[in-house]
Structure 1
Amino acid sequence: MFRTLGGGDLTTNRAKGTHPHPMTEWCEEGGRLYATALRTGRIARADVEPAPCLMEFALLHPDPDDPDWLRPVAPVVALSRQLNPLEHEIAERRRLAVDLAETFQPFMALGTQIATVSDSITVLEGGERINAALNMATVQCRTEVLTLQPSDRMSERSLLRGLERDKPLIERGVRIRTVYQHTARYNPEQLAYAARLSDGKAEYRTIDELVERLIICDETVAFIPARDDQQVALELRHPGLVRYLIKLFEYLWDRAVPLSTGTPYEAATGGITDVQHSIAKLLVEGHVDEAIARRLGMNVRTCRAHIAKLASALGSGSRAQLGYLIAQSGILQQDH
């Protein structure tokens, strides 16, 4: 759930090592050719020689009607094929997590008896220690997990760890509620992750802006990042702090849009989308494009495309005029 360093372990297996890279790090030529194949429905076998990874990763297969052509495997099918083998590793780690929880369970009551106020805040350094603490908390969880997840690209390893923690929770009847940013609706990894877990016990919503990650288990323990690189986190067990963070989560949850319903990128009243409304607010506050993109969980190019559409909708011919027209239009006073 907290992002960890490193990508997946799936690499090409060329004997001479001339084209090795993980599936999570597409080579430029491979990405371009796969996109072309998806758009056109097929691609000439000779055209893909610069990117042998496409065949090695089974993203293309021979056209049964013409051996000189290759047809693309649908992205959702390719992603599923890569996720399925991970289930075996998930099962092994799940058993290890349960064994660890049972080993430490006899000492939990003793630790509670001698706990002081300072014990309610623990600094966790390093991805391994953070994930170990999260694993322990989720193994012990019995009712509900609440999470805030600002948008980013989920690595294969992060996806594995998320599934490893969340799937057994749902199997035990634990409810999971997660708030992403709106940009998650266009992130295939996050959509695939949500689809694999959404069966009534897991609910997902999106909102325009989230500041930081937050994970709360059973209203007793919360995890928040303590450094921008996600390699230091705080484990909070003080009841007052946890209650405060739950109220923050519920505030955002009530204002978020269910992932299964309409997209906030569709135009609202006046031709301005909810996302463009958020961008307009940040523009008037004086934020530059890079800061707006970072706060809304999108890349700078996408942010600037929304600004251009906003300018077109308001009839603005310059950046300075856009700020004036936003203020004069009254869109910031609309109920969003």
Structure 2
Amino acid sequence: METGTGIGLDKKSETLYVKLLLGLRWTPEELGRELDRRESEVICLIDGLREEGLVVASGDVPGAYRAVEPCVALPALLSRRMHAPQMAQPRAAAIERFVKLHEYTTDRVSRPDSGHSRDETATLVERLIARAERDVIFLVPGGSPDGPGDVDGSCFELSKPIIDMSLRRGATVRSLWTSSALSHPAGAEHARWMADQGAQLRHVGSLPVRAIVVDGELAVQISEDRTVARVVRGGGGLERLNALADQLWQRGVGLRSPAGRAVSTGPRRPRSETVLRLLAEGLTDDAIARRLGCSVRTVRNDIACAMSALDARSRFQAGARARQVGLI
């Protein structure tokens, strides 16, 4: 199979991913015409990219798809492939070049601080969430499945990449839900998934706004139907959202399972992510092993694997490069 430029995809899949990035959303029929491929072949390639987390269903047009932003999707692909040596290994340098080129091109064309559809909103959030360092809090109102505040599976497929990115970078992820959102099967399933990943969840009776607050320094406020979003970067608007999120979190109640037991949340991320973060902070192998409660040999095996995947010549270069490429 012909390989691509080193980001971990074969040439056909990479060509399709690049084409998807050139538009907000595409149908398989449109992609087939653009790439001169049969629609059935395009659908097969899309399915593969969805499995890898590089493509999600459009939140606006049934049957259409959009690309997940490279700054979110490609580090996640690298993280997974590091533990699957039988698969094509992405190269850190190739991913870094790909992401920088895409962001340079995107910034030259437009750098929006607002979105006017679900797909635009999701893309905007992905670009901003990639900068999260400390804390991300989601305010998730509920609503009737048929109403403007709907809770559906496509909504949660869109949010999985950004939650994974935040947790992988070591940020604390908190999510406030309403009871009505959790009563919907798709909402309940997604809440369980978030808890399994290590996010903290609470619920309240109602939420006056749908928003995502990043590091307390910027927020994305989203309309009830998720078709309009605006970035709040400072001033009174950001202060009010921060205060509201803190107050609601303090009032929120922890989630409980159907059996009445508290839903367990906590760090359940791969050990290698923590090893890389501690490595980037300058800790020794012994110190990392003590922090994680594992053997020094285990830590050194993780570091050797990371050095190979990141084309690093030293353990310290591996930690620095992991941060540069967005792996942590």
TM-score between the two structures when normalised by the length of structure 1: 0.43
Kindly name which structure, 1 or 2, has the bigger radius of gyration based on alpha carbons.
1
TM-score between the two structures when normalised by the length of structure 2: 0.44
Q: Select the structure with the greater relative contact order (CA < 8 A; seq sep ≥ 6).
A: 2
